[in-house]
Amino acid sequence: MKCDVCIIGAGPAGLFAGIIVAKRGGKVIILEHNAAACQKLLHTGGGRCNLTHSGSVNDFVRAFGPFGRFLKHSLYEFSADDLIDYFNQMGLPTVVQEDGCVFPESQRAGDVANIMINHARQSDVQIIYNTQIQSIKKESENFNLDLLNNQIQSKSLIVATGGVSWPFTGSTGDGYKYAKNFGHSIVTPKAALVSLRIEEKWLCNLSGVGLENVVIKGRAGKNKFNCSGPLMFTSKGISGPVTLDLSRYVTDLLPDYNNPAKVVIDLLPDHEISDLEYNIMDMCQKHPKKELASLLAKYLPRSLLFSICGQISPGESIFAGILKKDQRKQLTSMLKQLPISIVATDSIDGATVTRGGVSTKEINPQSMESNLCPGLFFAGEVMNVDGPCGGYNLQIAFSTGNLAAVNAL
């Protein structure tokens, strides 16, 4: 079979790239090793699919941090507004939450996938499912792909195979192998947007305790970071939205059990440290017979307060009236700057995205074409790009899928 563009992977990046190639009049074949397209997409946003984020291209570039520069052109060519327009025009209304996250109005990821699968079908995009690629070679101007029972010849090839997280959805890292065959380097894949393991066992005993809003600060090399949002303690460490964002900053430093990443948690970001200390002193004077943890329960869950008090005075209850000045200072400091040591991320299999992949140094940001092999393109999470929570990673898939498609034809 011959085509203008062959795409490996029918996730959001590959499927959308296929739609764009077909819309521009190209013959396109997508090879997918699963029995269906967009298997990971169905799990996104807890099944609701946070498909993008509201904001300008510059907001996106900032949110992507070190990857912003590489992604900028693709975002200009296909922005969050373009993505929202596309789905709205295809009959899928969207809603923007207060926090800027964009979801389908139906709150169903399946609707997002179906819109694209139907659009691909109507546009004569050929998708070959359950396919196993045996080899890929570039001979003269064409790519020749050997499948088990078939051969494909294409002028361009787009690799859109995703990362290695959630491998049961199909992203098994094959794209790295294909990229390496054409001389590309792979930045070691690491887990990102993932729960973190910490050293402090006394906090792990609080598994299941959640906090509505904390701020976590730290430093990775020269760069300071600051993340905020809900936090949950787990039996191995911390989880919840703030942790997922934090994981993007620390994943490159981990695992390092001898040299953990040190961060501090502000458990009460809405309270100034001086006001807090004064309030604690005042409450203790007014209620000297009350147990300290119970007295402070208006601020934080009692179980967390008991554990913190246990750190200040191991093995015994602290009553408000006997709290010494240095203990009060220590308590306030733990509430505002609780130090924790992050030793590892949870497994990459369970991570929301993969940090690492095909090095962007070898990909032209104006086209997504390989600098090493003309006609070879990359799109989506297979590349060393990742974004924070909030719809940014799907936007990467769509924007780079679009740019690769436009240039591959």
CB atoms within 10 A of CB 30: 28
Cβ(320)–Cβ(289) under 8 Å? yes
At closest approach, how far in Å is the CB of 260 from ligand FAD?
A: 26
* Residue number with CB closer to ligand FAD (31 or 71): 31
At closest approach, how far in Å is the CB of 137 from ligand FAD?
A: 15
Question: Dihedrals φ, ψ of 393, to 5°?
Answer: -75, -35
* Residue number with CB closer to ligand FAD (161 or 332): 161
* Residue number with CB closer to ligand FAD (39 or 332): 39
Which two three-digit tokens encode residue 284?
């203790």
Q: How far apart are the first and last CA of the chain?
A: 17
Binding site for ligand FAD (CB under 6 A): 8-14, 31-34, 39-41, 43-45, 49-50, 133, 160-162, 165-166, 170-172, 174, 352-353, 380-381, 391-394, 397
* Residue number with CB closer to ligand FAD (8 or 215): 8
At closest approach, how far in Å is the CB of 121 from ligand FAD?
A: 16
* Residue number with CB closer to ligand FAD (129 or 202): 129
* Residue number with CB closer to ligand FAD (83 or 323): 83
At closest approach, how far in Å is the CB of 404 from ligand FAD?
A: 11
* Residue number with CB closer to ligand FAD (87 or 304): 87
At closest approach, how far in Å is the CB of 172 from ligand FAD?
A: 6
- How far is residue 337 CA from its own chain's centroid? 26
At closest approach, how far in Å is the CB of 361 from ligand FAD?
A: 19
Q: In whole angstroms, what is the distance from residue 126 CA to residue 29 CA?
A: 5
Cβ(201)–Cβ(176) under 8 Å? no
At closest approach, how far in Å is the CB of 95 from ligand FAD?
A: 14
Residues 324, 325, 326, 328, Cα dihedral to 10°:
90
At closest approach, how far in Å is the CB of 300 from ligand FAD?
A: 29
* Residue number with CB closer to ligand FAD (23 or 43): 43
